[in-house]
Amino acid sequence: MLSYARIVSSQQSAVDAARAYRNANGPAILAEFVELLALPNVSRNLDDVARVADHIVEMLTARGVEARVVHRAGTAPVIVGHYGVADATTTIGFYAHYDGQPVDQNDWQVEPFKPTLISGALDKGGTEQPLPLGDEGVDPEWRLYARSASDDKAPIIAICAALDAMRDAGVSPSANLLFLFEGEEEIGSPHLPHYLDEMRNELAAADIWMICDGPVHQSRRPQIVFGVRGISEMEITVYGPGRPLHSGHYGNWAPNPNMELAQLLASMKDVAGNVTIEGFYDGTQPITETDEAAVAALPDTDDSLRTELGIGETEDGGTALALRLLLPSLNIRGLDGGGVGDEAANVIPTRSTASIDIRLAPGNDPEVMIDRIENHIRAQGWHVVADEPDTATRRKYARIARVARKAAYPGVRLPTDSPLAKALVAAASVAAGEPVLAVPTFGGSVPLHYFTTVLGAAIAITPFANHDNNQHAANENIRIANLWYGIDLMAALMTMDLPD
Amino acid sequence: MLSYARIVSSQQSAVDAARAYRNANGPAILAEFVELLALPNVSRNLDDVARVADHIVEMLTARGVEARVVHRAGTAPVIVGHYGVADATTTIGFYAHYDGQPVDQNDWQVEPFKPTLISGALDKGGTEQPLPLGDEGVDPEWRLYARSASDDKAPIIAICAALDAMRDAGVSPSANLLFLFEGEEEIGSPHLPHYLDEMRNELAAADIWMICDGPVHQSRRPQIVFGVRGISEMEITVYGPGRPLHSGHYGNWAPNPNMELAQLLASMKDVAGNVTIEGFYDGTQPITETDEAAVAALPDTDDSLRTELGIGETEDGGTALALRLLLPSLNIRGLDGGGVGDEAANVIPTRSTASIDIRLAPGNDPEVMIDRIENHIRAQGWHVVADEPDTATRRKYARIARVARKAAYPGVRLPTDSPLAKALVAAASVAAGEPVLAVPTFGGSVPLHYFTTVLGAAIAITPFANHDNNQHAANENIRIANLWYGIDLMAALMTMDLPD
């Protein structure tokens, strides 16, 4: 393994080059970005996204990247690019997406595909600045407003600018670079697994994929995020009488499905909020001391969140949110049986349903987690069925639960104590000029596991957009200081020496 | 107390008189009933019901009853009638209602206010018989179709015919008779308590009120029902985060209100369905050996109900429905928190609500029963509030339950082993010519407690309509055999010697 000093030293040159280049060429970088942002890119408009893809291939080619569009009929194309480095024995992959969320002009204060420079945040009195810029330079507190300014065309311009800067300064990447930009992320990446599978041999060259997407920490401090959760879903329906019964004539004789469901659900968690289902946490990637230290180093927002949200006590006696996300969760997202309020009727309902989502930590198999819950239901004395039971079946069993299963995909996470994670934090910290936050995982579910399960590579999320970028909403923007940090970050990552 | 032999003997004369009278005067009785049924009586049509009331006063007056209309402005009037008996020291009250449910002509096969005689049930091929009838007599399997033919003008004609029969035969009632017929039963008797209170001194003369309403047992056997349940309602809302939270980013940190509600509700009943709330059953009028014997003598329909309804096991290990109704119940009529099915979203909901109805047995105070549940909630560590809690309150307490209370009214029940209950069963059995069923209570809630709480009298429900009379629906009817039994029953009850 390379020494930390050597790593930092090679990245410092690249970051210095990036800073010098953007100081000298700020208006030109923004001009090229404005040209990219002006191209409409709503995921489902296939003609639009194809045009964006062609444009990006031209941008990459201009930097000496061997880039091409790969297109499966009826889908948004992906862009694949190779940047070979003599004598390099490792490869670093960069993933981004060039498609954006739909726009409703009525909600926007500017035009979403006419990029507009504003002297700050629009909702804090920022005013429009003329484009194109002259030689007077760019204020880092200015913001560029347009759809995908942050999410997720920003990494593409940052990569191009970093390559320009390194070329000008004669700094070479430390590894071969591999680029993969997709055009369907905002509609759930339905074809990404097919593209990955199709190009498996070519893309498997990367030792790690940098997932260039998302914002910095809400404290404004830069962060590297080492994982995402997976997800499974299920719905449990339990049964009462075959037709709604008058609760006077049959109450405390006919079983009440709401009460039986309550008893079943209550058996799944203790009062502290920990899951009591046998084996639920088995196989979960362990929480290490490094994870705990990384979480301890994060700005502590738990208390302010509790106050803002009116939460008396959080689960597990107040354990930090960032640590809780390293475990699988069992969330009853919906309960429904009979009516409440004005819809309440004095009946014993025929059925009661709970809808559940299970967030998966790495090590939790999506099917097995549902199996464990089903086994728990059986262990409580229930007869589990997959289809709507008929009257005879309902007569036969005292307690019947119909379980609808939807196992989606697993989570993935690079251990924070791995040499790769440490190298990433070191590289990003050079770009940030301060120690960046090492976040063990996002709580949300994103199917990044494909990079691991299909391509055999590690992943890390390397975001740089401002946290208040209005991602997915109207008035999306990027703060120039964040874009500058993004260029520096890309340069630092490109010159990272991967540990063996 | 009078001997059973004497009681039965005096009633046998009255029942014999009733049978002789209706054998001789069937067409005339039906003709008078047709006239009464032809008068529209939908509760909210105040002009219509006032006309019916005047007509009934005329009918009673013709039998020597001192009858009058008592009218509070803006309500349907009540009819009060006195029939004094020389030397009588006790008074028997007869309650019925002369109003009926709304009608939708589209649903009827005959006209609801043009009484039609049919040679059986309309849905079993019965055909129309000409009216008025000649001397050829009446087949007891025929049915008279009209709104309120059973519910509840039938008792009024039965009372008049019984009085005629006894007068013709020289049989005198054993007690003073008091009649109270109301006109708002089908809309919940909103003004009955006011009328009772207003005439408290006059109506308190009755030692017992016969509630002349409803059908015989579904097995077709005549029944006397000795009670009804009361009711209280409540809604429990528990709280999660102040806004819906992404279940990935906050799942297993922010408390889930659905799970907390499930745990709270599960603590209220054991798996057999018995309530585990401290004191819940305290003070309930005891179930006696006579009650158990009366229930054991009822036709056993529990098993066929379980099969029809697809119920695997009923509560309390299969205890008879009729016995379970002698206890208060706790029924979760509705559950709602977040969405299920297509409405499921991956969030931690802000709240979860359970709507509950509590059927009350005699001895259960409507407010106290809610207090007991509230106390139970507190004992589980919850902070109970009456109004929507603000964010600061929600921050302060780990578990908050908002309880909305609606204490309605208590149940009432004449113990089956009381001398009065035994006398009633004996009298009705003379009319029926077989032992009638003694049903300890109806499961449903009806505010009959007013007769006890306001007037200090016992009540018993003395139904005689056929069980398939289409009460409240289209094609309401009464089977002639049931009307004849009704006349006999009224004669038997009027000559009942009340125990001291």
CB contact under 8 A, B398 and A255: no
CB contacts of B341 in chain A (<8 Å) are 235, 336, 353, 355
Distance CA A80, CA A72 (A): 13
**Both B429 and B379 in a single domain?**
no
Q: Is B28 inside any structural domain?
A: yes
CB contact under 8 A, A242 and B313: no
Distance CA B216, CA B462 (A): 9
Q: Is B446 inside any structural domain?
A: yes
CB contact under 8 A, B252 and A444: no
Tell me the shortest Cα–Cα distance from A250 to chain B, in angstroms: 7
Q: Is A39 inside any structural domain?
A: yes
Tell me the shortest Cα–Cα distance from A471 to chain B, in angstroms: 15
**Both A219 and A235 in a single domain?**
no
CB pairs under 8 A between A and B: 316
CB contact under 8 A, A325 and B445: no
Does residue A472 belong to the interface with chain B, where contact is any CB pair within 8 Å? Answer: no
In this predicted model, what pLDDT tens digit does every residue of B305-335 receive, in sequence order? 999 999 999 999 999 999 999 999 999 999 9
Distance CA A365, CA A368 (A): 5
Q: Is B319 inside any structural domain?
A: no
CA distances from A226 to A25, A210, A437, B219 (A): 33, 10, 11, 72
- Shortest CA distance to A221 belongs to which of A442, A492, A490, A463? A463
User: Which domain-ending residue is among B409, B440, B467?
Assistant: B409
Over the range B228-261, which residues count as b (16 or more CB within 10 Å of their CB) and which as e?
bbbbbbbbbbbbbbbebbebbbbbbbbbbbbbbb
Nearest CB to B247 within list A248, A333, A336 = A333
CB contacts of A324 in chain B (<8 Å) are 252-253
Over the range B83-108, which residues count as b (16 or more CB within 10 Å of their CB) and which as e?
bebeebebbbbbbbbbbbbebeeeeb
CB contacts of B239 in chain A (<8 Å) are 310
Instruction: Tell me which residues of chain B, numbers 302 to 331, contact chain A at a CB-CB cutoff of 8 Å.
Output: 306-316, 319, 321, 324-325, 327-331
Q: Is A311 inside any structural domain?
A: no
Geometric angle at alpha carbon A226, from A280 and A57, rounded to 5°: 125
CB contact under 8 A, A315 and B399: no
Tell me the shortest Cα–Cα distance from B77 to chain A, in angstroms: 29
CB contact under 8 A, A249 and B442: yes
Give the count of domains, chain A. Answer: 2
What is the reported pTM? 0.90
C-beta atoms surrounding B423 within 10 Å: 23
**Both A102 and A120 in a single domain?**
yes
Residues belonging to chain A: 500
Nearest-CA residue of chain B relative to A246? B444
pLDDT computed for residue A5 by the predictor: 42
Confidence of residue B214 (pLDDT cuts 50, 70, 90): very high
**Both A373 and A425 in a single domain?**
no
| Structure token digits, residue B444 | 């449903």
Residue the block writes with tokens 């409580």: A380
Nearest CB to B251 within list A311, A337, A359 = A359
Extended beta strands in B400-442, E state: 400-409, 412-413, 437-439
pLDDT computed for residue A10 by the predictor: 76
Q: Is A312 inside any structural domain?
A: no
CB contact under 8 A, B262 and A258: no
**Both B95 and B209 in a single domain?**
yes
- Boundaries of domain holding A336: 230-284+327-409
Tell me the shortest Cα–Cα distance from B451 to chain A, in angstroms: 21
CB contacts of B267 in chain A (<8 Å) are 266
Nearest-CA residue of chain B relative to A304? B395
Nearest CB to B333 within list A265, A345, A394 = A345
Q: Is B85 inside any structural domain?
A: yes
**Both A220 and A362 in a single domain?**
no
Does residue A143 belong to the interface with chain B, where contact is any CB pair within 8 Å? Answer: no
Q: What is the pLDDT along chain A (500 residues), one digit of tens a residue?
A: 333 444 456 799 999 999 999 999 999 999 999 999 999 999 999 999 999 999 999 999 999 999 999 999 999 999 999 999 998 999 999 999 999 999 999 999 999 999 999 999 999 999 999 998 887 789 999 999 999 999 999 999 999 999 999 999 999 999 999 999 999 999 989 999 999 999 999 999 999 999 999 999 988 999 999 999 999 999 999 999 999 999 999 988 999 999 999 999 999 999 999 999 999 999 999 999 999 999 999 999 999 999 999 999 999 999 999 999 999 999 999 999 999 999 999 999 999 999 999 999 999 999 999 999 999 999 999 999 999 999 999 999 999 999 999 999 999 999 999 999 999 999 999 999 999 999 999 998 988 999 999 999 999 999 999 999 998 899 999 999 999 999 999 999 999 988 87
Nearest CB to B334 within list A313, A338, A400 = A338
| Structure token digits, residue B499 | 């125990």
Tell me the shortest Cα–Cα distance from A147 to chain B, in angstroms: 23
Q: Is B395 inside any structural domain?
A: yes
In this predicted model, what pLDDT tens digit does every residue of B77-92 receive, in sequence order? 999 999 999 989 999 9
**Both B74 and B129 in a single domain?**
yes
CB B7 within 8 A of CB B496: yes
Nearest CB to A355 within list B267, B339, B399 = B339
pLDDT computed for residue B106 by the predictor: 92
Does residue A342 belong to the interface with chain B, where contact is any CB pair within 8 Å? Answer: no
CB A326 within 8 A of CB A440: yes
User: Which domain-ending residue is among A372, A391, A409?
Assistant: A409
Distance CA B60, CA B164 (A): 11
User: Which domain-ending residue is among B352, B384, B409?
Assistant: B409
CB A465 within 8 A of CB A478: yes
Distance CA B11, CA B432 (A): 12
pLDDT computed for residue B9 by the predictor: 64
**Both B76 and B201 in a single domain?**
yes
At a CB cut-off of 8 Å and minimum separation 6, what does A391 contact?
A242, B308, B309, B310
Q: What is the CATH number of the domain that holds B390?
A: 3.30.70.360
| Structure token digits, residue B244 | 């819906």
**Both B353 and B478 in a single domain?**
no
**Both B46 and B195 in a single domain?**
yes
| Amino acid at residue number A205 | A
Distance CA B151, CA B486 (A): 13
**Both B193 and B280 in a single domain?**
no
Tell me the shortest Cα–Cα distance from A176 to chain B, in angstroms: 35
**Both B198 and B271 in a single domain?**
no
Nearest CB to B352 within list A269, A315, A335 = A335
Nearest CB to A395 within list B255, B312, B327 = B312
CB contact under 8 A, B344 and A353: no
* Three-class HEC string of chain A: CCCHHHHHHHHHHHHHHHHHHHHHHHHHHHHHHHHHHCCCCECCCHHHHHHHHHHHHHHHHHCCCEEEEECCCCCCCEEEEEECCCCCCCEEEEEEECCECCCCHHHCCCCCCCCEEECCCHHHCCCEECCCCCCCCCCCCCEEECCCCCCCCHHHHHHHHHHHHHHHHCCCCCCEEEEEEECCHHHCCCCHHHHHHHCHHHHCCCCEEEECCCECCCCCCCEEECEEEEEEEEEEEEECCCCCEEHHHHCCCCCCHHHHHHHHHHCCECCCCCECCCCCCCCCCCCCHHHHHHHHCCCCCHHHHHHHHCCCCCHHHHCCHHHHCCCCCCEEEEEEEECCHHHCCCEECCEEEEEEEEEECCCCCHHHHHHHHHHHHHHCCCEEECCCCCHHHHHHCCCEEEEEEEEEECCEECCCCCHHHHHHHHHHHHHHCCCCEEECCCCCECCCHHHHHCCCCEEEECCCECCCCCCCCCCCEEEHHHHHHHHHHHHHHHCCCCCC
In this predicted model, what pLDDT tens digit does every residue of B247-296 receive, in sequence order? 999 988 999 999 999 999 999 999 999 999 999 999 999 999 999 999 99
Tell me the shortest Cα–Cα distance from B302 to chain A, in angstroms: 10
Q: What is the CATH number of the domain that holds A88?
A: 3.40.630.10
